[in-house]
């Protein structure tokens, strides 16, 4: 899979040809003029049929069951968001005996993981089409996901490694005076970041706060009252550089049709790189992210080794 990321192109994820991009755009325009009364109204901005083909060619999902049977994997969970119910649904495949769960607006359902689950979990709102599963259409799992770490805890984890994509802010960001109205791309990027980043940061803070509270309760009191709370160790790895800035440096790698589309949305203006980063499946950008991830991980290698109980050999 690493080779795929190192040699990625956008046309492996969505149709980036002129007909595929602007054909959909024209259908959107006609649907608005017709008040949505047409029979072939578009379901998304882009067509991600190439991603479906890539997954089916490169992934052997039967390996999930083989890994579970071999004792190498305990459980795998894929989270999606229901457009009708508003629920965050975590489909999971696991060792026998793990039961599903139900909480406020989030549930866990045992099921054999298939390609439709993967496509639904990556169906960015507005950008990629929703995927039908059972009786409902589902989109990206980060929508309405108020507790992203919850599925891992329900499946029995007592240590969690969180790999984030948002740079950890040490201080409140500086207020910048805006000289013009925000572009559509800037608003869309802000909305996507709110969906994908904010919930994770809040959940990590909540988990750390619960850990601190549990430490104040004597073990004998916890055992006596049969409390269900338990401490969960968490290790958060965040990029040391802003992904948006990296994306801005590689935006020219996108196919011309996508660059033209993003320019029309205002992505070429200040603040528009966030939306670009969600579509930038190009090898130069992916390699830059791989290199950044390697650098950030090696900078904390001793801490990570202690957390996962392994020993690195010096020089490796």
pLDDT the model gives residue 116: 97
CA dist 14 to 11, 24, 303, Å?
5, 12, 38
CA dist 63 to 60, 97, 155, 241, Å?
6, 20, 19, 35
Residues ≥6 apart with Cβ < 8 Å to 171: none
pLDDT the model gives residue 119: 97
User: Dihedral of the CA atoms 92, 95, 97, 99 (nearest 10)?
Assistant: -10
CB 271 within 8 A of CB 186: yes
DSSP state, residue 11 = G
- Report d(CA 210, CA 118) in Å as an integer: 31
Among 305, 65, 9, 277, CA closest to 166: 277
Q: What does the pLDDT profile of the chain (316 residues) look like in tens digits? A: 667 888 899 999 999 998 888 877 777 767 767 766 566 667 888 999 999 999 999 999 999 999 999 999 999 999 999 999 999 999 999 999 999 999 988 999 999 999 999 999 999 988 899 999 988 999 998 887 888 899 999 999 989 999 888 766 555 556 666 667 777 777 877 777 776 666 778 888 888 888 888 888 887 777 766 666 778 899 999 999 988 899 999 999 999 999 888 887 777 665 678 888 889 999 999 999 999 999 999 999 999 999 988 665 555 5
**If residue 90 lies in a helix (H) or strand (E), which one and from where to where?**
strand 88-94
CB atoms within 10 A of CB 189: 25
Helix, strand or coil for residue 111? coil
CA dist 103 to 87, 126, 142, 146, 234, Å?
10, 27, 16, 11, 22
pLDDT the model gives residue 98: 93
pLDDT the model gives residue 217: 82
Domains of the chain by residue range: 60-155, 158-168+185-316
pLDDT the model gives residue 32: 67
pLDDT the model gives residue 235: 92
With vertex at residue 58, the alpha carbon angle to CA 150 and CA 196, rounded to the nearest 5 degrees, is 30
């Amino acid at each position: 899979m690493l080779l795929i990321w190192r040699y990625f192109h956008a046309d492996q994820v969505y149709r980036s040809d002129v007909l595929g991009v602007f054909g959909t755009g024209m259908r959107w325009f006609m649907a608005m003029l017709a008040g949505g009364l047409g029979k072939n109204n578009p379901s998304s901005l882009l067509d991600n049929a190439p991603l479906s083909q890539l997954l089916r060619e490169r992934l052997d999902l039967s390996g999930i069951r083989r890994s579970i049977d071999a004792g190498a994997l305990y459980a795998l969970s894929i989270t999606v968001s229901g457009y009708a119910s508003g629920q965050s649904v975590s489909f999971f495949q696991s060792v026998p005996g793990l039961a599903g769960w139900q909480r406020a607006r989030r549930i866990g359902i045992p099921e054999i993981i298939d390609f439709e689950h993967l496509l639904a979990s990556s169906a960015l709102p507005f950008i990629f089409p929703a995927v039908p599963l059972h009786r409902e259409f589902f989109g990206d799992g980060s929508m309405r996901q108020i507790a992203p770490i919850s599925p891992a805890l329900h499946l029995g984890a007592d240590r969690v490694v969180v790999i984030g994509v948002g740079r950890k802010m040490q201080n409140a960001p500086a207020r910048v005076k805006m000289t013009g109205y925000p572009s559509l791309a800037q608003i869309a990027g802000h909305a996507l970041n709110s969906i994908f980043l904010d919930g994770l940061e809040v959940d990590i803070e909540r988990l750390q706060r619960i850990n601190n509270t549990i430490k104040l309760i004597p073990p004998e009191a916890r055992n006596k009252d049969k409390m269900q709370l338990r401490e969960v160790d968490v290790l958060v790895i965040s990029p040391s550089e802003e992904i948006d800035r990296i994306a801005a440096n590689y935006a020219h790698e996108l196919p011309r049709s996508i660059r033209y589309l993003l320019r029309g949305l205002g992505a070429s203006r200040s603040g528009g790189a966030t939306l670009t980063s969600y579509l930038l499946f190009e090898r130069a950008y992916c390699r830059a992210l791989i290199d950044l991830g390697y650098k950030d991980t090696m900078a904390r290698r001793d801490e990570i080794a202690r957390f996962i109980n392994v020993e690195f050999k010096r020089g490796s």
